[in-house]
Amino acid sequence: MKTENTKYLITVVGPTAIGKTALAIQIARHFRTAVLSSDSRQFYREMHIGTAVPSPEELQAAPHYFIQHKSIHDNYSVGDFEREALDTLGKLFRNNQVVVMAGGSGLYVTAVLKGLDEFPEVDPKIREQLNRDLEEKGITYLQKQLEELDPVYYNRVDRENPHRLIRALEICVGTQKPYSAFLSQPTKKREFTPVTIGLTAERKTIYEQINRRVDIMMENGLLQEAESLLPYKQLNALQTVGYKELFAYFEGHCTLKSAISEIKKNTRRFAKRQLTWFRKQDNIIWFDHKDGTGNIFEYLSSRMSKD
C-alpha cells in the first residue's frame, strides 16, 4: 500500500556528457518539481562554459538549485553542501512528494543520500603547511606522502585532485591514524526515500560524446573563460579538468592543440573514475542512455507504488 507521506529523492547519476541534465529535467517536469545539482563545479558562477552548466532554456524548464550560487573565492566544502542541500530538500518536500537531484560528483551525491563520515578536528596549521608543500614541491610529493601514511586510501582516491590529497593527509598527520580508518561509518537517517537511476553507455560512445562536448566548449568560448580566470588558478575550484590544461597553455608549457587533447584525455579518465565510483554503490538501477524515458518512468512508477 502506497503511503502518501513518503517523500522520494530521485537521483540521476553517471559519467560526464551522458545526458544527466536532460533526463533530470524530464523527470522534474513529469512530477512538477525541482532539480538540485550535485555537480561540485557547477556551483561556481565564474565557471560557466567549462562546467557544462544547464542552458538558459534548461534552467527555465524546471526550477534548479545549487547552480552558480557560489564564487570561486568562497570556501565551500562537501559538508557545507550536505547541510544546505538537506535544508533545501526539507523545504521543497513540504509541497512536493518528489524532488530530483542530478550530478556526477560521487562524494556530493553520497553526502546527501547517506551522510558524510565524521572526522575529528585537526590543527588548521597542518592544512596550511600541506598547501605550501603543494605549491613548493608539487602534487607528486603529496601523493608519495599519502602512499606512505595511508596506502588503502591512496589506492582509492583521485590522486590528481590536490584537494582530496590534502584533506586525507591533514587527517593522517593530525590524528596519527589513516584517513581510511574514519571511512564507511553507518548511513545517516534521511527523511526521504532515495531512488537512484544510473545512465551508462558503451565506453566508445561515452568517449565520443566527451570529445564532442570539449569541441563545443571551445567553440563557445572556453579559451576566453579560462584566460579570465588565470589570475586565480591556485584556487581549489579551478583545479578542474578543462581549466588547468588551458592554464598550462597560457603559461607556455604546451600548444593549444595539445592542451585541448589533454582536456579530452583527462575528461575521459574522469568519466572512468565516475563509473568506478557509482558501480561500487548499491541500489542504483542502470539504464542505457538510449533507452528513452519510457522504461525509466515505468521503473519509477513501479518502484514508488511499492511503498
Q: What is the pTM of this model?
A: 0.83
Topology given in CATH for the domain delimited by 124-182: Histone, subunit A (1.10.20)
pLDDT score at 225: 98
Q: Is residue 288 within a helix (H) or strand (E), and if so which, with residue range?
A: strand 284-288
Give which of 11, 20, 10, 9 is closest to 289, Cα–Cα. Answer: 20
Query: One-letter amino acid identity for 99?
Result: V
pLDDT in tens, 76-117: 888 899 999 999 999 999 999 999 999 989 989 999 999 887
Name residue, grid cell 563545479: 41
Bigger pLDDT: 255 vs 303: 255
Q: How far is the C-alpha of 179 from the C-alpha of 185, rounded, in Å? A: 12
Which residues of 35-164 form beta strands (DSSP E)? 35-37, 64-65, 98-102
What's residue 73's pLDDT? 95
Question: Per-residue pLDDT tens for 34-84?
Answer: 999 999 999 999 999 999 999 999 999 999 999 999 999 998 888 899 999
**Spans of all domains in the chain:** 8-116+185-305, 124-182
pLDDT digits (tens, 9 = 90+) for 257-297: 999 999 999 999 999 989 988 988 888 999 999 887 889 99
How many of the other CB atoms lie within 10 Å of CB of 272?
Answer: 14
Give the pLDDT of residue 2. Answer: 46
294 sits in which H/E element:
helix 293-305
- Report the pLDDT value the prediction gives residue 207, as an integer from 0 to 100: 96
Q: Which residue has the cell 534548479?
A: 64
Comparing 252 with 182, which gets the higher pLDDT?
252
Distance CA 106, CA 290 (A): 23
* 121 pLDDT higher than 90: no
Per-residue pLDDT at 1 = 37
Count of Cβ atoms closer than 10 Å to residue 100 Cβ:
28
Look at residue 141 in the predicted model and tell me its pLDDT: 95
| pLDDT at 221 exceeding the cut of 80 | yes
The tens digit of pLDDT for each residue in 149-202 reads: 999 999 988 888 888 899 899 999 999 999 988 877 667 889 999 999 999 999
> Which parts of the chain fold into alpha helices (H)?
20-31, 56-61, 78-92, 106-113, 124-137, 139-149, 151-154, 162-175, 203-219, 222-229, 244-250, 256-279, 293-305
Span 124-138, mean pLDDT?
A: 89
Q: Tell me what pLDDT residue 81 has.
A: 95
**14 pLDDT higher than 70:** yes
pLDDT of 143 over the 80 cut = yes
Give the chain's end-to-end CA distance (angstroms, integer).
6
The CATH topology of domain 8-116+185-305 is Rossmann fold (3.40.50)
